[in-house]
Chain A
Amino acid sequence: MKKSLIWRSILISAVMVLAIVLFLPSLPEVRSSLPKWWPGNKINLGLDLQGGMHLVYQVQTEKALESFTARTAINLKNTAADKKINVVDVKPISATEIEATLANATDTNGFLTIASDTGVLERKSSEGTKVVLAVKNKEAERIKTNSVTQGVETIRNRIDQLGVAEPVILQQGTEEILVQLPGIKDPQRALNIIGKTALLEFKIVDEATQLTPPLPGNVQPGEEEKILAAYKDKVPADDEILFEKEVDRETGAVSRRPYLVKKEVRLTGEYLTEARVSIDQRGRPEVSFKFDTNGAKIFDQVTGSNIGKRLAIVLDGNIYSAPTIQSRIGADGVITGNYSEEEAKDLAIVLRAGALPAPLKPIQNLTVGPTLGNDSISAGQKAIVLGALLVIVFMAVYYKMSGIIADFAIGLNIVLLIGALAALSATLTLPGLAGILLTIGMGVDSNVLIFERIREELRLGKSVRAAIDGGYGKAFTTVFDSHVTTLITAAVLFQFGTGPIKGFAVSLSLGIMINLFTALVGTKVVFDFITSKWKLEKLSI
């Protein structure tokens, strides 16, 4: 008996030391005075305790597919022109299909060769002068998955520039992106930066076509729908109406100016290599950008052949400015508009980090402000202290000295639990704090079961030592069974729960498992020590 008692005491002491070592980094007051080699991390606080944003976006992969198909159609048209095949029109007719109308039916085979040379198209049908092509399934899938992974990268780049500590950006499932920004101070700005599609397109304003009645000079924000509906049948097929934001210098009133613009996208933001904020001669912020060699070539050609016309610089479907093209422009350009400096900065960030390949739809936004976060922490702490106190007092009163031994076991249990949470880099959430509280309430039950059993044995007239051994031996299966049942539901909660709930499941499960050690081995060692040192006639229980 003696030897095993010594071994067990050593084990318990070692565990106690380990628990304290792992636990200390989590106390903010102590943390700074710990030497560098101290193992263990501080405990991870969940968003609901430290404040922050939890966002889930759904990537509109269909749109990515649509724009790919549209771009492929344009490329086809240009290649056909290069190969001297006379083409009336090439246009997308659905997210994955392109219809080409040739001037001569005899050109069909030549056209089909060009199409298959792209490697991404296959023939769907060809009748007379009409050829219908479809994007290959594998390619379509690739584009969809790419739009999600690229979306993750783009968001990561944008967030890097926000300066958030330890952001989390992950793909979730096949089409969702999860973004977590702990401790962010300006949630709205983050939302704006992340959500901007930043699809930069250059189009030519159509000043040749006259509409009747002519487009109004400006409209109130919110009235855009009415204008679009009113002119729906009057707008030519290859034109569209886009709006520019105008701010009156004096009154600050915001209005929208409609333009009739040719739909065809001449150039997109993917050719951008740089975007910076600069100040123009009048002291207003503007965004200057630079194209790569290919982009510069195209831009040069577009501006060269449209001198005197207005170039619509369209961002996310809104015209940012529509300057008149004075001369050919090569690599450098400037976007001017009525921005504040912060808006210009954010626009530059977004242009630099790249355009999102597909628009993002926010489907979940949980923002916890610092007030709620702090309130939660203090409420949780208060409840734990009070609950622990109630239990400790109850055990001491009801089971006297044995109760006090059990109280120490619970204390060890909690210290070990927090140390384990820190060591495993588990996240402590508000429900996790409730889990710690429940560990106290349920963990002490192990000792209640054992002590009641010991009382029963004593009542039957057993000696103190025999009663203690009998109590521990017989109660073990009950304690074990009851913990397993709690663990079953905790495991299910971990599997199916969201962040805060997972935190609860982790706290409770770890607490209960550690309890098997502290309540059984921990307290038994103390009892064994007492009975080996002193021959007890009566047990304080």
Chain B
Amino acid sequence: MEILKKTNIDFMGKRNYAFAASAVLCLFGIICVVMMATGKANMGIDFAGGASADMIFAKPLNMADARGALDKAGFGDAEIQALSGEGSKFKLLVRVKKTNVPTEQVVGKLKEAFDKSFPDNPAVIDSSSAIGPTVGKALQKDALWAIIISFIGIIVYIAIRFEFRFGIAATIATFHDVLAVLGVFMLLHKEITLLVVTAVLTLAGYSLTDTVVVFDRIRENLKLRQKDGLLDIINSSINEVLSRTIVTSMTAFLTVLALFFFGGEVLHDFAFAMIFGIIVGTYSSIFVASPVLYVWKGTKGGRLIKAAMLTKQPVKDLSAKPAPVSVKPVQPAPEAKPVAVAPAPDGGAGKGKKGKGGRKKSGARA
């Protein structure tokens, strides 16, 4: 069974639309980062400090009543969320972020508040977290370092395995993915916790594997089709690995889908970030990494991308095979000018003809 047989989509041609869409995604992401830096983003208590408690009640509680009990105790700002408990028990998650009460006392006071307001429905605190502000700040710093070092590692590795240009393109695509996920979290006002940062870093690594699949094919084609323009090479490379890219993302997607629906409340946001991240990651390998590779300024060729490819105009019809060099009768020897050693500015032509009969068709692989 095959989802996609031979395709010939002009991905690179659509790159301007893609850039526009990506720019919007990145914009949301940048807004989110700014909000995080200025303390206005919805940060989890592991970053912001504060306390949270999972309280289990024997009888269901009306949310408005719960809110009233908290208001009376001076915790009007607390966030409350009702979760399904085992059997008939009612589970309430209470989060307190800003308060004058010392963090370690908050959970105790929450229990007091509920016990006072609902004396016949005692609260049992199943799990709780209390995190002082200094720990939160240390965690923020660690998270930031983790992100920075990941990116450096990525650039270095890709630049070594491919070429510097590829490293930049891969990093920009990965950056784009991270911003897109953060942007979605900001739009949906979801809490950014340490697990969310973990998801973001993981999908950065995973989006990279997707990008590597495309780059790998591009690298191979660059070696084989040295006479073609870069745009054509990239376009056909993407088409060749399209089904591969989609299927690998599909398998990972299926697993995080299972996590999203059945993985429980703790991993829920993590799964959501991964789901969105895998989709964006696949999109970015095709529509961000590859076009950036093409668009990155420079006529200087590198180890893989030769200078000739950068200037060659794209072929109009992708499905047509590149026109074979026409065979001209060889001039009688004495009149043949010696071939200049220095390559002509447009590359290729100065190197002389490649043996009899023109070039091999580029479709065959050894």
Q: Interface on A for B, CB 8 Å cutoff?
A: 48, 56, 58, 361-372, 375-376, 379-380, 382-384, 386-388, 390-391, 394-395, 397-398, 400, 430-431, 434, 437-438, 440-442, 444-445, 448-449, 452, 455-456, 460, 477-478, 481-493, 495-498, 500-501, 504, 508
How far is B274's CA from A10's CA once the two chains are assembled, in angstroms? 39
Q: Which residue of B lies closest to A440 (CB)?
A: B255
Contact A501 to B255, CB < 8 A, known contacts A380-B264, A478-B216:
no
Give the Cβ gap from B201 to chain A, nearest Cβ, in Å.
5
Q: Is the pair A489, B201 in contact by a Cβ cutoff of 8 Å?
A: yes
Is B348 among interface residues, defined by CB-CB distance under 8 A?
Answer: no
Is B135 among interface residues, defined by CB-CB distance under 8 A?
Answer: yes
Give the Cβ gap from B5 to chain A, nearest Cβ, in Å.
10
How far is B143's CA from A497's CA once the two chains are assembled, in angstroms? 8
Q: Which residue of A lies closest to B108 (CB)?
A: A188
Q: Is the pair A442, B258 in contact by a Cβ cutoff of 8 Å?
A: no
**Interface residue from B54, B130, B161, B256 paired with A438 (Cβ < 8 Å):** B256
How far is B207's CA from A294's CA once the two chains are assembled, in angstroms? 70
How far is B132's CA from A540's CA once the two chains are assembled, in angstroms? 59
Q: Is the pair A387, B259 in contact by a Cβ cutoff of 8 Å?
A: yes
Interface of A, secondary structure class, is: helix
Q: Is the pair B212, A478 in contact by a Cβ cutoff of 8 Å?
A: yes
Q: Is the pair A489, B150 in contact by a Cβ cutoff of 8 Å?
A: yes
What does the 1/0 interface line of B221-244 toward A look like (CB < 8 Å)? Answer: 000000000000000000011011
Contact A394 to B254, CB < 8 A, known contacts A386-B262, A438-B202:
yes
Give the Cβ gap from B248 to chain A, nearest Cβ, in Å.
4
Q: Which residue of A lies closest to B274 (CB)?
A: A438
Give the residue among B145, B202, B241 with the most A Cβ atoms within 10 A.
Answer: B202
Q: Which residue of A lies closest to B132 (CB)?
A: A363
Q: B271-325: which residues lie under 8 A (CB-CB) from chain A?
A: 271, 274
User: Which one of B67-75, B121-129, B329-337 is at the A interface?
Assistant: B121-129
Is B56 among interface residues, defined by CB-CB distance under 8 A?
Answer: yes
**Interface residue from B127, B153, B208, B263 paired with A383 (Cβ < 8 Å):** B263
Q: Is the pair B255, A365 in contact by a Cβ cutoff of 8 Å?
A: no
Contact A482 to B194, CB < 8 A, known contacts A387-B259, A492-B153, A497-B146:
no
Is B184 among interface residues, defined by CB-CB distance under 8 A?
Answer: no
Q: Which residue of B lies closest to A403 (CB)?
A: B1
The interface size of chain B toward A, counting residues with CB under 8 Å, comes to 75
Give the Cβ gap from B360 to chain A, nearest Cβ, in Å.
14
B250: chain A residues within 8 A (beta carbon): 394
What does the 1/0 interface line of B67-107 toward A look like (CB < 8 Å)? Answer: 00000000000000000011000000000000000011001
How far is B257's CA from A371's CA once the two chains are assembled, in angstroms? 24
How far is B265's CA from A375's CA once the two chains are assembled, in angstroms? 9
How far is B135's CA from A397's CA once the two chains are assembled, in angstroms? 49
How far is B206's CA from A434's CA once the two chains are assembled, in angstroms? 14
A431: chain B residues within 8 A (beta carbon): 195, 198, 267, 270
Q: Is the pair B259, A383 in contact by a Cβ cutoff of 8 Å?
A: yes
How far is B264's CA from A376's CA once the two chains are assembled, in angstroms? 6
Q: Is the pair B198, A362 in contact by a Cβ cutoff of 8 Å?
A: no
Q: Which residue of A lies closest to B365 (CB)?
A: A460
List, sorted by A's number, 26 A–B pairs whose CB atoms are closer than 8 Å: A48-B266, A362-B103, A363-B131, A369-B126, A375-B86, A380-B263, A384-B258, A387-B254, A387-B258, A394-B250, A394-B254, A434-B263, A437-B259, A438-B252, A442-B209, A448-B244, A452-B244, A481-B161, A482-B210, A483-B209, A484-B157, A488-B150, A488-B205, A489-B150, A498-B139, A504-B198
B208: chain A residues within 8 A (beta carbon): 482, 485-486
Q: Is the pair B263, A367 in contact by a Cβ cutoff of 8 Å?
A: no
Give the Cβ gap from B287 to chain A, nearest Cβ, in Å.
19
Contact A485 to B132, CB < 8 A, known contacts A375-B86, A383-B259, A460-B365:
no
Give the Cβ gap from B115 to chain A, nearest Cβ, in Å.
14
Q: B129-171: which residues lie under 8 A (CB-CB) from chain A?
A: 129-132, 134-135, 139, 142-143, 145-146, 149-150, 153-154, 157-158, 161
Q: Is the pair A434, B259 in contact by a Cβ cutoff of 8 Å?
A: yes
Q: Is the pair B129, A366 in contact by a Cβ cutoff of 8 Å?
A: yes
